[in-house]
Amino acid sequence: MRRLAIACLSATLFLAAPVSAQNNAEPKVFLEYTQTELDRNYNQADWAANIKQLVQRYDLRSDVTRQRLGAPERFAYGDDKVEGLDLFRAKADNAPLHVFIHGGAWRAGKASNYHFPAEMFVDNGISYASLDFGNVQDIGLDGMTAQLRKAIAWIYKNADKLGIDPEKIYISGHSSGAHLGGVLLTTDWSSLGVPANVIKGATLISGMYDLKPVRMSARSSYVPFTDDIENAMSTQRHLDKITTPVILAYGSLETDEFKRQTADFAKAMQTAGKPVELIKADLFNHFEMMDDFGNPYGQVSAAAIKQIKSK
């Protein structure tokens, strides 16, 4: 009888343990992610042990690019001191222009950190511009987007000054810059006095295209989200406004959420009949994707150059 009682008690404790653990487990907040998991999925630094070296490499490679090509020309596209662009001209006049929008979690980075892709474009007869713009803590996502729209309109209207063909303006962006580049594709350009198809093609690298999970993550601690901002700045919700061919790229070593964001956006574009190319760069983490883009033999850079030259 005593053995039976002990056995029953042991069984009770065994069965109760998982229930207790389940009750204490962190709940799912988005898809199959807990809050901790979601926060981590939107913090790429946790997934890239070499982040410090890679960011330093951006600057070193940009230094080398300036030594080889010379210092870029600086132009102001607006009145704010941050509203400027660095231009590396192609040798021939009336060249296509590739405009790069840097990342940095919407709060860091500057144009000069991303001069290194310039040589690859210039060698292919394409001018290259890297943009400066405000950060999310000062002007919000809508303010950042307004500045970038102003920049594209200014470039189009000042094509002669820049020595570029206004009908051959292409853009790219990485990380939060890819998000902002995606939002540009949904713009009503008539309000800025430029053609609806002012952007002829886009290369969006490791971006975010629906802000719902981003808003739910720790990023909301410094990004002033509202329902209107979330909706307006979620490119995937405005597919009807996109007419531009888009290259979407991500690395196989990025977070699951960043991979999902790109794959879902590509699938939505395909379903909507929009021109899209999806590139998966094997064995690249989030920050290494810029090594691929700044490399003339990289998958992403080759696709971006082909997009321009095929027109």
Query: For residue range 77-94, what is the model confidence (pLDDT) as tens digits?
Result: 999 999 999 999 999 999
**Rama region for 140: left / alpha / beta (φ>0; ψ in -120 to 50; rest):** left
Q: How far apart are CA 213 and CA 198, in angstroms?
A: 31
Closest by Cα among 177, 45, 26 to 100: 177
The domain segmentation of the chain, as residue ranges, is 53-238+250-310
Return d(Cα 75, Cα 87) in angstroms, integer.
Answer: 8
191 DSSP assignment:
G
Question: Mind listing the pLDDT tens digit for each residue in 153-197?
Answer: 999 999 999 999 999 999 999 999 999 999 999 999 999 999 999
Residue linked to tokens 């998966």: 280
Return the CATH class of domain 53-238+250-310: alpha beta
Give the tens place of pLDDT for each residue, 225-250: 999 999 999 999 999 999 999 999 99
Average pLDDT for the chain = 93
Cα 174 off chain centre by: 4
Taking CA atoms, 78 is separated from 6, 113, 159, 183, 196, in Å, by 80, 21, 15, 20, 21
For 251-298, the pLDDT digits (tens) are: 999 999 999 999 999 999 999 999 999 999 999 999 999 999 989 899
Give the pLDDT score at 45.
Answer: 87
pLDDT at 266: 99
> How confident is the model at residue 24, as a pLDDT?
64
* 203-217: average pLDDT: 99
